[in-house]
Structure 1
């Protein structure tokens, strides 16, 4: 079943130049899809449209078969942004409880403590977020997503700034999420991570989909995801 369905999406901030131009893509249930592209390619604007953070101008967006602006659609997806902005006046426990209230989920404290331990933050679950480092805030974002367990999780460069051990743990947990039939749209410049995790790669450039193919096919043709991206960016096709 198609979980995220984007059809003919175009978007402009000034009414003249399209940041997104007739973009179509889908994310099936139980898949990890990598989203790559240079800065300014339209990745963040695409994500903002998916989560109704900007007004849809052209095209259509559905999550789980529901219009993306509906309460049902919004309950199905969770967005982890590229920044580490979290409410500093809350503890991690309070923040995760707040997320649980928003999504109608009762967080499992035992699981939360276990994830904090695995992410090398044992004993910090009841500390104020203002006392967390950048990496700890990123890991708190990841823990919240693993506890909320939404059908669709969109991760926008959230893996930047975490240590190698946490990255390895995140990859393992993402595979568990996929095995449960849930899906992840993973936006990252870490192409090696995508080669290990992603079932499919969507490559955006200048607001258009350049490639949308299974990862194994891209690697077979280009040798690596990085080679595919850099070959294209250095070519006359742009």
Structure 2
């Protein structure tokens, strides 16, 4: 069953040049979908449209069958942005409590503290976020998603800046989330991660969908996702 349905979405910031042009794809329940593309390809604008952070100009977006701007849809999706701008005046406990309340969830703080330990942040759960490093803030974002466990998580470069051990643990947790029937749209430049995790990969360039195929098929055809992207860019001299 389709959890996220993006159909014929176009978007322009100035009314003349389309940042997105007739973008269509779906994210099925219980899947991990990779989102790749060079800078300026429209990935961030696409994510902003999904979460109603910019007004949809053309096309339609539905989450769980609901129009994306409806409260019912917004309760189903969680966005982990590429930056680490978290409320520094809160502790991680307070931040994750707040995130839980946004989704109508009473947070299991023992679970959250346990995830902090597994992410090598033992004893830091009640520290102010302002005292966290960049990597710790990224891990805090990941913990919030793993505790809240929304039907759809859109993870935008959140894996960048975390250590290798934490990355491997995050990958295990993402697989567990998928096994529970929840879905992840994972935007990352780490193509090896997608080769290990993603059921499908969506390649966006200049606002258009170039590829939307099973990851294993793309790897079989091109040798790797890295080769797929760079072969395409060289071919079209972008």
| 1:58 correspondence with 2:65 | no
Looking at structure 1, the residues matched to 114 and 160 of structure 2 have their Cα atoms a distance apart, in angstroms, of: 22
| 1:198-238 C-alpha deviation (Å, 9 max, x unpaired) | 00000000000000000010011001000000000000386
> Which residue of structure 2 lines up, in the alignment, with residue 89 of structure 1?
89
| 1:55-94 C-alpha deviation (Å, 9 max, x unpaired) | 0000000000000000010000000000000000000000
The aligned runs of 1:165-176 (5 Å cut-off) are 165-176=165-176
| 1:32 correspondence with 2:32 | yes
> Which residue of structure 1 lines up, in the alignment, with residue 80 of structure 2?
80
| 1:19 correspondence with 2:19 | yes
SS at match of 1:196: helix
Looking at structure 1, the residues matched to 14 and 114 of structure 2 have their Cα atoms a distance apart, in angstroms, of: 47
| 1:197 correspondence with 2:197 | yes
Looking at structure 2, the residues matched to 235 and 138 of structure 1 have their Cα atoms a distance apart, in angstroms, of: 35
Query: Post-superposition, which runs of at least 4 consecutive aligned residues in structure 1 deviate over 6 A?
Result: none
Looking at structure 2, the residues matched to 224 and 216 of structure 1 have their Cα atoms a distance apart, in angstroms, of: 9
SS at match of 2:186: strand
Structure 2 unmatched ranges of 5 or more: none
Looking at structure 2, the residues matched to 219 and 161 of structure 1 have their Cα atoms a distance apart, in angstroms, of: 26
| 1:156-215 C-alpha deviation (Å, 9 max, x unpaired) | 000000000000000000000000000000000000000000000000000000000000
Report how many aligned residue pairs link the two structures. 238
| 1:230 correspondence with 2:230 | yes
Structure 1 unmatched ranges of 5 or more: none
SS at match of 1:44: helix
The aligned runs of 1:122-141 (5 Å cut-off) are 122-141=122-141
TM-score (norm 1): 0.99
TM-score (norm 2): 0.99
| 1:5 correspondence with 2:5 | yes
SS at match of 2:218: helix
> Which residue of structure 2 lines up, in the alignment, with residue 119 of structure 1?
119
Looking at structure 1, the residues matched to 119 and 237 of structure 2 have their Cα atoms a distance apart, in angstroms, of: 43
SS at match of 1:107: coil
